[in-house]
């Protein structure tokens, strides 16, 4: 999650779920940036059946590839043999090109992101060392939070020690 002093408008006060991290770099999804576009406007097959997490809008997953849609879902049923255990609990990425009925596991709830956050080899680690990011464990309730505007503060509040105090850090310290 972004430290209060990270002022890049793409990441200011964001909570990012890292979905891939290896020697080639890192990929993440910004969990708390809803857009005004309804999911049904861009992916009508996913906008039916009541599976969209509230709010049922597209989220801006990051500044990279804003024309790419990524699905993050809470799934039902066991993972197929040989599949990974998922990202957090029952949550994993889903193939949005396939419809809800074509998934290997039933989709219980879905959030659609356009774009993603990306870092080259060693870049995210360097940004963490410089204090731009806090690495904290995700909880299942963070991923499809119905109150994304409160997620940054809520995640900080549950952290131990001084990190929890940053939840009350003003948006603009100059006007404090």
Query: Which tens digits make up the pLDDT trace of 151-169?
Result: 999 999 999 998 999 888 7
Cβ contact 93:70 at 8 Å: yes
CATH architecture for the domain at 16-170: 3-Layer(aba) Sandwich (3.40)
Report the largest interatomic distance among the alpha carbons of the chain, rounded to a whole angstrom.
55
Distance CA 59, CA 77 (A): 26
Q: What is the pLDDT of residue 85?
A: 58
Q: What is the pTM of this model?
A: 0.91
Q: What is the pLDDT of residue 173?
A: 62
Per-residue pLDDT tens digits for 55-85: 999 999 999 999 999 999 998 865 555 556 5
More confident residue, 173 or 109: 109
pLDDT at 50 over 90: no
Distance CA 96, CA 80 (A): 18
Per-residue pLDDT tens digits for 80-130: 555 565 678 789 999 998 888 887 778 899 999 999 999 999 999 999 999
Beta strands in 132-171 (DSSP E): none
pLDDT at 176 over 70: no
Cβ contact 10:63 at 8 Å: yes
Per-residue pLDDT tens digits for 18-45: 999 999 999 999 999 999 999 999 999 8
Domain regions of the chain by residue span: 16-170
Q: What is the pLDDT of residue 77?
A: 65
Q: What is the percentage of the chain residues whose pLDDT exceeds 90?
A: 71
Which residues does 175 contact at the CB level (< 8 Å), separation at least 6? none
Predicted confidence band of residue 145 (pLDDT cuts 50, 70, 90): very high
And the tokens for 57?
A: 């809008």
Q: What is the pLDDT of residue 24?
A: 96
């Amino acid at each position: 999650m972004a430290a209060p002093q990270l002022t890049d408008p793409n990441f200011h006060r964001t909570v990012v779920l890292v979905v891939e991290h290896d020697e080639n770099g890192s990929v993440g999804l910004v969990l708390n940036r809803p857009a005004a576009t309804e999911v049904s406007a861009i992916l009508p097959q996913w906008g039916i059946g009541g599976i969209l997490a509230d709010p049922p809008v597209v989220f801006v997953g990051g500044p990279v590839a804003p024309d790419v849609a990524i699905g993050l879902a809470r799934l039902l049923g066991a993972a197929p043999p040989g599949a990974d255990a998922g990202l957090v609990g029952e949550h994993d990425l889903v193939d949005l090109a396939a419809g809800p009925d074509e998934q290997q596991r039933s989709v219980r709830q879905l959030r659609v992101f356009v774009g993603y956050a990306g870092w080259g080899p060693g870049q995210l680690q360097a940004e963490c060392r410089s204090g731009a990011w806090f690495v904290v464990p995700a909880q299942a309730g963070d991923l499809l939070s119905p109150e994304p505007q409160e997620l940054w503060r809520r995640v900080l509040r549950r952290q131990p020690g001084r990190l929890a105090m940053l939840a009350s850090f003003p948006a603009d310290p100059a006007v404090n």
